[in-house]
Structures are given as C-alpha cells and as structure tokens.
Structure 1
Amino acid sequence: MATDNTFLGRGWSFPPVFDRQQKTVQMLDGEENIRSSIEVVLSTELGERVMLPGFGWRKEGWLFESMTTTAATAIEKEIETALLFFEPRIDLNEVRLLPAQGETGKVEIHIDYTVRSTNTRNNLVYPFYLTEK
C-alpha cells in the first residue's frame, strides 16, 4: 500500500531531467526529495551559488589536506552546520567521516538523520575525494 508523503515536499530532481514527449520535468517526492536535497548541499561549494552564497560547505578547502582527527572533526562540523541551515526537514543524529576501505584519497561521509514529520530514521553515505576537484 502506497503512502502519501507529499507533505514532506515535492521538487525537481537535480540535475533536472525533462521528458520531451510528456512535456514534464522529473519530480521527487517525500524522503527521496529530502535525500536529493542533502546530496545537493554536500555537492555544493560554499559561495558557488551567487544568489545564496552561504549555501553548501567549504569542500574544496579540504582538498589535498591530510586527514587528521582534527581535520575530520572540522569537516563534520561544517557539514552539520550546512545541513542545519539548509535542510530544515531533518534532525541530524550523527555525521562521521570514515576512510573508504581500500581506496586512497577518499573518505565516506556518513550522515544519520531523522525526518522530522514522520520520525523516520535514514542514513546516507556520500563519497568525498580528497585528491580530486
């Protein structure tokens, strides 16, 4: 049985996908929309959006940095702050940076969050490459 999650939000997919025959744009609903929004925040460099310069986080500032405990904690705090300000539909439970198994120069950003309106826990693992722009 399908549930109606439209109260969680509905928005365009990112990047936008257009259907020429139907003359529509692909839309995302509910928790899929929230997950996509989190990924947009994580993939946006601070200052990249001219009309919203505070959107995103300073990800390129961490490229080529040694991944010390101090650096990992600072990155976690930056991500927490960005999600706190730009994804109000969630409560963050935890943000952790963990080295990717078997891959040099890559860490995984583990985000554990709860959707406020449904009290549903979710998680997201986002790859962050320290040696690529």
Structure 2
Amino acid sequence: MEKFEKDIAFLGKGWAFPPRFSLSKPDGVVMVDGNEVPHPENLRLIVPIIERSLYIIIRTIRGTRVVQPTFGCNLQPFLFENITAQSVALIKKFIEEAIIEHEPRVILENLDIKTAYDAAQPNADKLGELLIQLDYRVITTNTRYNYVFPFYLTEARNRSL
C-alpha cells in the first residue's frame, strides 16, 4: 500500500455534514472519505474532511449524542453572556479538551480567540462574534493548517436598542 493510501485509511470515513441521503447508496447515507480527493499528490485537499469534523465537534452540545454523551463542546451556555477574559478562557479550555478527546487525526498547536469588546471599534457590527482560530497539524502528513470558526454570541444583528 503506498503512502497516500495509508494516509487516506487513517483519515477515515464518516457521514457527510449536514447529513444527506441517497437512494443510490446501499445504506442510503452519503459518506465522505479521503477517496474523494482527486489527486493523490495533493494531500491538502483532505483537510476539508478534518475541518468538517472540527466544525461538528465545536457545534455539538455535550450530552446530545446518546451513544457518545461526552462528544462536543459546551459553548451554548456562553450565548448571550458578556465577553470577559474568564469566559474566553473557559471557551478555549472546552474547545481544546473536545478536540484532544474527539479528533485523533490532528495535534492542536495553538488556539486563539479574537473578540470585539466595544462598539467603538471599527467593525462594531461584529460585536457579538468570536473568531476561534485553530492552528493544527495533521499527524499522518505532518502538515500545518489553520481553521477559523466564527461563533456568534448574539444572533439578532439588525436590531437597534
């Protein structure tokens, strides 16, 4: 088995997100895996599979999966909360723990959370948004990537107080 096939095998296979179904599939579920990568020499195309997994981990509320009750992050309690240094530190801790526990294909090298603290900043329309930047390394290829995940603390953007 050549190196690329070993990398693909390690990266695994899983449900497409959002879940999709097809009558042409034997079990009806649309799956994603590394075999969708068109050019074996271009391993960076595998990264969207890992980023999809990171997205699912961050967006899933802990306790909502019956079979895996510890899967996910508990970010929902932070919705509509004031952004403080303590809350940012807790969010960072929850994300780090979830990725370490549930995404064995990567090593998290850095996690940075950018916030907009006050309405006087140039992009005040982003006041309720946290930008979560994950710098990680894919273990099998030893390549570094980053992923920026926007997390909205307030959903009502077009309302004036």
Please report the TM-score for the alignment, with normalisation by the length of structure 1.
0.86
- Does structure 1 conserve the Cα–Cα contact (< 8 Å) formed by 2:129 and 2:150? yes
Q: Kindly name which structure, 1 or 2, has the bigger radius of gyration based on alpha carbons.
A: 2
Q: Distance in 2 between matches of 1:48 and 1:18?
A: 22
| Structure having the larger proportion of residues in helix | 2
Q: Distance in 2 between matches of 1:72 and 1:13?
A: 30
| Equivalent pairs, count | 129
What is the aligned partner in structure 1 of residue 40 from structure 2? none
What is the aligned partner in structure 2 of residue 27 from structure 1? 32
Runs of 4+ with deviation above 4 angstroms: none
What is the aligned partner in structure 1 of residue 149 from structure 2? 126
Q: Distance in 2 between matches of 1:122 and 1:19?
A: 32
Q: Distance in 1 between matches of 2:66 and 2:14?
A: 21
What is the aligned partner in structure 2 of residue 62 from structure 1? 78
Counterparts of residues 110-125 of structure 1 (less than 5 Å): 110-125=133-148
Q: Which amino acid aligns with 2:144?
A: R
Runs of 5+ consecutive residues of structure 2 not aligned to the other structure: 35-45, 117-122, 156-161
| C-alpha distance after superposition, 1:21-57 (max 9, x if no partner) | x446252323322111111101101111122111111
What is the aligned partner in structure 2 of residue 13 from structure 1? 16
- Does structure 2 conserve the Cα–Cα contact (< 8 Å) formed by 1:9 and 1:33? no
In percent, how many aligned pairs have the same letter? 39
Higher mean Cα deviation, 10-19 or 47-56? 10-19
| Structure having the larger proportion of residues in strand | 1
Please report the TM-score for the alignment, with normalisation by the length of structure 2.
0.72
RMSD: 1.9
What is the aligned partner in structure 2 of residue 97 from structure 1? 113
Runs of 5+ consecutive residues of structure 1 not aligned to the other structure: none
